[in-house]
Structure 1
Amino acid sequence: MQLVKVGLCAFGMSGKVFHAPFLKEHPGFFMSAVVERSKEESKSRYPETVIYRSVKEMLQHSDIELVVVNTPVQTHFEYVKMALEAGKNVIVEKPFTVNVAEAKELVKLAAEKNLFLSVYQNRRFDRDYLQVQKVLNEGKLGNIKEAEIRFDRFRIEPSAKEHKENPQLKGSGALHDLGSHLIDQATQLFGFPEKLFADVFPMKGSAFANDYFEILLYYKNGLRVRLKSSVFSKEAHYAYILHGDKGSFLQERTDDQENELVSGAIPTFNEDWMKPLNNPDGILNYLKENSGSERILTSSEPGNYMNYYQEIYEHIVFGYPLPSPGSEIIQNMKIIEAALESSKEGKIVYFADQ
């Protein structure tokens, strides 16, 4: 089996939870290098991994072929560019970059170097999102007229992460952080919109980056898709609401991979590393083909973030399609930029190049 040597640019939560465990358990990858600026936390679990004190040092001295840029978004452009110029393929954490211009430059550079650049859109592998995808593919809802995707939390105290909370830093705030997931799911399910209107602001006050957003996406076929997130939501909402001309589907946010990984669970290729649901997590109500309607409770099947790394491996070894390539995620960055413009100017923003 071909072994792909990987370097991890940071060993904070993202490295410990979303990347290192999967690289260790996947037989096709070997995490041979990691950047820890002052600590050596990776040593106990990954003793075979060489620790470097900077990304530059790792790129200069390690024989890795794939680099995972999982540092704060404000550094993504610098480190991705550095890795590409060193001849390395790159996975970069979401959000891709702080703006469209940076994203375009990196995609262009990767193409010139004949290297791949993938954005880690792991929530394409969430159980709840996959269930929505399944229901849409079944066609029981008919033509979708209205949809809502939301990611709410109750976090009234600011986090200690300055790169997410400081309003003076480009790319900080919920729109770039959680918005990059919701926007990605919307464009995967429904395509790119014709225009949008957005409301983005800091509920915790002007000393903090935006922690609330609502984006209304308009499509040429009349479809309306609403994306929303708030940190002042004590009661849970349905994460996905879809209404079509033949029925409706409501889906809770039930994927628990992040919590399981934080608690120390070891991921595998099989979904059984996740705990099964105790109760149904969705409601499907639709018109039957003959007569009447049917209302059923649905249960989503487990998702698995390992599938992202499996797709990366298959791209490297077999040339299969690259998951979430940078060229595709540029479209998501356009929506983030347009949402900021719309909120600031109080106007609908059109996408002229679509």
Structure 2
Amino acid sequence: MIGVGLIGYGLGGRVFHAPFVAATPGMELRAVVSCDAAKVHADLPGMAVAPDVATLLSRADIDLVVVSSPDALHAEHALAAIAAGKHVLVDKPFATSLDDARAMVAAADRAGVVLTAFQNRRWDADFLTLQRLIADGALGDIVQFESRFDRWRPTAPAIWKEARQGGAWFDLGPHLADQALRLFGRPDAITADIATFRGGAPAPDWFHVVLHYPNCRAILHSSKLAADHSLRFAVHGTGGSWIKHGLDTQEPAILAGMAPSDPAFGLDPSRGHYTAAEDPAARQPTDNERGDYAGFWRALAESLGGRGENPVPAGEALQVMEVLEAGLHSARERRTIAL
């Protein structure tokens, strides 16, 4: 049994981590670091609540530490867990700088522990569907890939996440960048425009980023002032186009109280539409794959048990951090940055 310790019980800890640890065979959540024990016990009666990270790391029954603390603490907490000999899962963003991310990876290599990044959006229903379409050859050679996370949140709430370093680019950008890297690999260059449009917003709330590939452009976009925010993917290739509206349903399902084991969990009712190059007038609905955030956790359990590969190797987390940091430089210097 893999004993799990969770640092932080905000949205990440409560929605993306604790329920899936409980649903993963061979894993058991044994302690949570939180300053609000009542909040933890409302969901997890009887759970051990540690007052600080050092207390959690001193426990011999903790094998894996999940870092779901505020971004600025990711590197500090990950390095402390690695020094304590624990395997580590870090929420996004992996770190707030590429230098910190490299230090984390180097420390894990020296300690011989598993270090992974929580890139759950690889297991979104729509992204799994897109991967299937590409593998089947339906889209041919991709020439334009547009991936969007838009919102309608015209007023910035007074929470730390709205003021995070890098703003929306370090909040939603890690998901979009990771998916693009999974599909196309490391880009040749990046051109980024990052801006703040909401009055009083403490950090950027809009970005438009282009990843340059030899025969393709990947467009990553997010706005918090999009009244119509349904478009998720627009992918065009020599074999056809695929357009998808609507976000993956797994996060709202957990928030609504659905368990990952529920037969309806991961089903996305918003089908995309495929248009074949040989018949542009015809639009065909495409069935979605089932979303499977639990797949990340099953793979991680297999990896920690020596029976499989790390589902998100630390080297892939470094590639995402490279793109994020280069995006900041591109936006600040108003030029294309070679990678």
Aligned partner of 1:327 among 299, 312, 315? 315
1:284 to 274, 278, 294: 274
Contact 1:38 1:53 in 2 (8 A): no
Are 1:51 and 2:39 matched, yes or no?
Answer: no
Distance of 1:59 and 1:86 partners within structure 2: 6
Q: Residue 60 of structure 1 aligns with which residue? A: 58
Runs of 4+ in 1 over 3 A off after TM superposition: 291-295
TM-score, normalising length: structure 2: 0.95
- One-letter amino acid of the counterpart of residue 272, structure 1: A
* Code of the aligned partner of 1:176: F
What is the DSSP-based 3-state SS (H/G/I as helix, E as strand, rest coil) of the residue aligned with 1:302? coil
Q: Give the residue type in structure 2 aligned to 1:242.
A: V
What TM-score do you get using the length of structure 1 for normalisation? 0.91
- State the alpha-carbon separation in 2 of the partners of residues 292 and 260 from structure 1: 36
Q: Output the CA distance in 2 between the equivalents of 1:188 and 1:47.
A: 39
- What value does the CA root-mean-square deviation take over the aligned residues? 1.8
2:65 touches 2:87 (CA, 8 Å); kept in 1?
Answer: yes
Distance in 2 (CA, whole Å) between partners of 1:122 and 1:6 is 18
Provide the C-alpha distance between the structure 2 equivalents of 1:300 and 1:215, rounded to a whole number of angstroms. Answer: 27
Letter in 1 for 2:93: P
String of CA shifts for 1:156-184, please: whole Å, max 9, x gaps: 1112322x223xx5x34100000000000
Partner of 1:215: 209
For the residue of structure 2 that corresponds to 1:61, the secondary structure is: coil
Counterpart check, 1:96 vs 2:94: yes
2:167 matches 1:173: yes
Question: Do the aligned residues in 1 keep the contact of 2:258 with 2:265 (CA within 8 Å)?
Answer: yes
For these two proteins, the number of residue pairs brought into alignment is 339
What secondary structure is seen at the aligned counterpart in 2 of 1:115? coil
Alpha-carbon distance between aligned partners in 2 of 1:235 and 1:73, rounded to the nearest angstrom: 29
Match 1:259 to one of 252, 262, 268: 252
CA contact (8 A) 2:156 2:201 kept: no
What are structure 1's unaligned runs of at least 5 residues? none
Q: CA deviation at 1:47?
A: 3.2
Q: Distance in 2 between matches of 1:102 and 1:96?
A: 9
Q: Which runs of 5+ in 2 are unaligned?
A: none
Overall identity of the aligned pairs, in % = 34
SS at match of 1:22: helix
CA offsets per residue over residues 231-258 of structure 1, 9 Å max, x none?
Answer: 0111134211111122111112331111
Find the aligned partners of 1:140 and 1:204 in 2 and give their Cα distance. Answer: 40
